[in-house]
Amino acid sequence: MDKLISLTKPKTAKRARVILVALFIFGAFLVVNIFRLDFFLYAQYKQKTLDQITTTSALRAERGKIYDSNMQLLADTRTSWRIFVSTREIKKFKSRDGVEYDRIIARGCAEILGLSEETVYRKITNTATLDVTIKKDASEEEYQKILEFTEKNRLSELLLTEAQSSRYYPEGTLAAHVLGFTGSDGQGLYGLEYSYNEILTGTDGYYMYAKDAGGNSLPNQYADYVAATDGASIVTTIDSFVQQALEGELERIRINHDVSNRVTGIVMDTETGAILAMATSSPFDPNDPFVLDSVSEEKLLASGYAEGSEEYKAYKNSLMQIMWSNKAVSEAYEPGSTFKIITVAAALDAGAASINDRFSCTGHLSVGGWRIKCHKTNGHGSGFTLAYGLQMSCNPTMMTLASRLGSDKFYEYVASFGYFEKSGIDLPSEGKTVFHEKDALGATELATASFGQRFKVTVISHLTAIAAVANGGKLVTPYVVDKIISPSGEVISQHEVEIRGEVISEEVASIIAEVLEEGVSGEGGAKNAYVEGYKVAAKTGTSEKFDVLDENGRSYLRIGSTVAFAPVSEGGIAVIIVVDEPQCQVKYGSQVAAPYISSLLSTVLPYLEYESDNEPQTEALKSYVGLSAKDAAGALKELGISYQIIGDGERVLMQAPSEGVVIAKGASTVYLYTEIRDGDTVSVPSLIGLSLAQANKLAINCGLNLSVRGGVREGAEEIYKVTAQDISPAAEVKRGSVILIYVAAEGHND
């Protein structure tokens, strides 16, 4: 026995030592890990614990506003309301009180929010989530009714509301392509909303609070609050009045001339590059950007694709992408004869020609084995000056100038006018010029380029180049945002005019401006851009589209355009209108664009307070309703406006035209109705194709007034033909109503 004990003692001792060592190692391991957790990983595990017991509520920063140049609001953020329920609280209260709160809530919300009661009931009962949204964008009116319903039925812990922000454009479609729009997450997707998204967005804050496993709030030491920083606002150069005037003209062009690929235009300050207006027909509604405009919708319906088919969806998506595209910035086009301004400017500035050099035109010029035609196929004759060649848009004259310059010099001037770079405008998705490589600019390419064909430029880059001629040779950077202001209204930054270079001399710029103005006020090709009382320089153009050819390989689609700047003798505005694929019979820029340039300038120049050389020949009518017929007649007589009293009453009950309508003095009649009776309507005659003199006579005989748009000069009524009227023939209107007509002088096909 003693022997057995003596044998087990060493084994026991050994075992004890092993156990002690193991315990020591384990203890050391625990100590090291406790030390590591307490000192090195404390913050990490504390955060994990807090993450499990805390709830964070985002505090959304309000997106900055967008204003026009007169601080008229163009984009804002408005509050809508999320209506939701706490399903856990509904179950708890239902079990406690024995009341079917889910049914009460479903019935009340359905009635207030215009939803199905059964749909709401299933939504809030057949779910495992704790928070169920009933409506995510309830209006203020619906929100107030929900609050009343909640208070009346004591549902404040069950039926909940949450304020949320959504983007709102108070002027609807105005300047849609400039402003762009935001997505459902509030991020800018197009236009200024996209390019200035970071500035407009601001920084979200948050409120963090803790709850225990039972859902009870923990002490405030676990709460945290970080305030949101609202986004800055931007003040644009857009003038809403000018923008509306431009958009109105573009829509009339689209309708009057059946334009299939949209119309676009820009109004720019020539001295600074500020964009006063920029538009493309037809504008979409940024409040609902995923709904097609009426023109695109018609194209979709006419496609023949079955609704819901893959082809239908793909075509609808492509139409939507086109609808959103800012044509003035993103798309390139062949500028045609409006580019001749650049060719002449380069030749004069380089000393390759003088404005009084003589040229000849037989209707074509042979270059590089090609017979290249002039738009006037029987030619402009011989011995005429360069000034005349520019005013009459003679192609052989331009080809001769380009030949004198040579390919290298011509290329250098095209580059110096900024065509090979982006304009730098602060809008997204700016397109690029598509031009010949320098070593590929042979004789034929040089000849066609001299009159604006077989290359493409963007509308914004072309107008920027034209503005350089208007302002004495300085190439400015166009821009849309003038100021960035803080939420409290302080100016954070202000745009400074950026001059990219002096592209031609001031003397050359002055000569070209004078020549172009004489072409408008005289018998040049741009005379349809004439505006009474102002010196307007303009150039028309019509280019062929070579992207799409007929079965014989010929181009058949056209782009008609006009560029203009005014007043010529001082800093002013430059304007461009580009009409892409007019489907009417006459597609020339002198017909489909120039008269609308005239109409736009006649509206905008007085508004911008540029001084006119003449006394105004128009009058905005006041209201004569309520006056005695005698007093109303006396007031009109004093203004030099013809009138006619209809009825035997003593007081004016109605007038036509109505208050605010602008009429021409000496050529309009105001009808004063002292009795309202049947039979006072007249049928609108067809005026299209008539001379202005004939249209005036017919309108007077019918008891109607005309509002004439286009470059009409007094005493030349016979040479102007009516190209469009805003009220369809045979329509019944009140006697004295105003028919808006557009007229153009014929005989210049450019």
Q: Could you check whether 58-234 and 618-745 share the same CATH topology?
A: no
* Higher-scoring residue by pLDDT: 42, 605: 605
* Portion of the chain with pLDDT greater than 90, in percent: 67
pLDDT mean over 183-209 = 87
- Given a contact cutoff of 8 angstroms between Cβ atoms, the answer to whether 541 and 750 are in contact is yes
CA distance 240 to 715: 35
CA distance 222 to 246: 58
> Are β-strands 159-168 and 73-86 bridged in parallel, bridged antiparallel, or unpaired?
antiparallel
Does the pLDDT of residue 509 top 70, yes or no?
Answer: yes
Q: Which of 184-198, 229-243, 452-466, 736-750 has the weakest average pLDDT? A: 736-750
HEC assignment per residue over 542-574: EEECCCCECCCCCECCEEEEEEEEECCCCCCEE
CA distance 150 to 157: 9
Q: Name residue, tokens 């606002």.
A: 233
CA distance 189 to 181: 6
Domain 618-745 CATH (choose: 3.30.10.20, 3.65.10.10, 3.40.190.10, 1.20.120.530):
3.30.10.20
Q: Name residue, tokens 């108070």.
A: 170
3-state secondary structure of 120: helix
Contacts of residue 735, Cβ cutoff 8 Å, sequence gap at least 6: 646, 656, 671, 680, 681, 682, 703, 704
Please report, for the chain, the start and end positions of each structural domain, with discontinuous segments joined by +. Answer: 2-40, 58-234, 618-745
At residue 423 the predicted structure's pLDDT band, cuts being 50, 70 and 90, is very high
CB environment 376-406: b (16+ within 10 A), e (fewer): beeebeeebbbbbbbbbbbbbbbbbbbbebe
Helix, strand, coil shares of the chain, percent, nearest 5, are: 40, 25, 35
Q: Tokens at residue 473, please?
A: 């040779």
The H or E element that residue 414 is part of is helix 407-416
Average pLDDT, the chain: 90
Q: Phi and psi of 670, rounded to 5°? A: -95, 125
The H or E element that residue 577 is part of is strand 573-580
Structure confidence at residue 4 (pLDDT): 47
- Given a contact cutoff of 8 angstroms between Cβ atoms, the answer to whether 265 and 469 are in contact is no
Q: Which of 371-380, 709-718, 729-738 has the weakest average pLDDT? A: 709-718
Nearest-CA neighbor of 180 among 356, 429, 547? Answer: 429
At residue 378 the predicted structure's pLDDT band, cuts being 50, 70 and 90, is very high
CA distance 119 to 128: 16
CA distance 458 to 445: 19
Q: What is the CATH number of domain 58-234?
A: 3.90.1310.10
∠ CA 479-512-353, nearest 5°, is 125
Structure confidence at residue 613 (pLDDT): 82
Does the pLDDT of residue 717 top 80, yes or no?
Answer: no
At residue 646 the predicted structure's pLDDT band, cuts being 50, 70 and 90, is confident
pLDDT per residue as tens digits for the range 648-688: 899 999 888 888 888 877 778 898 999 877 667 899 999 99
- Given a contact cutoff of 8 angstroms between Cβ atoms, the answer to whether 357 and 457 are in contact is no
Does the pLDDT of residue 591 top 60, yes or no?
Answer: yes
Does the pLDDT of residue 164 top 60, yes or no?
Answer: yes
Structure confidence at residue 668 (pLDDT): 83
Alpha helices in 208-339 (DSSP H): 240-256, 294-302, 310-324, 327-330
- Please report, for residues 392, 513, 592, 609, 612, the alpha-carbon distance to residue 518 in angstroms, rounded to integers and kept in the order given: 11, 9, 21, 23, 17
Q: Which of 261-265, 351-355, 509-513, 691-695 has the weakest average pLDDT? A: 691-695
DSSP-assigned letters across all residues of 273-294: -BEEEEEESSPP-TTSTTS--H
Q: What is the DSSP letter of 229?
A: B
pLDDT per residue as tens digits for the range 237-295: 999 999 999 999 999 999 999 999 999 999 999 999 999 999 999 999 999 999 999 99
The H or E element that residue 12 is part of is helix 2-35
Does the pLDDT of residue 206 top 50, yes or no?
Answer: yes
HSE of 454 in the Cβ direction (CA atoms, 13 Å)? 14
Contacts of residue 1, Cβ cutoff 8 Å, sequence gap at least 6: none
Alpha carbon distance, N-terminus to C-terminus of the chain = 130
Whether the bond into 657 is cis, omega within 30 of 0: yes
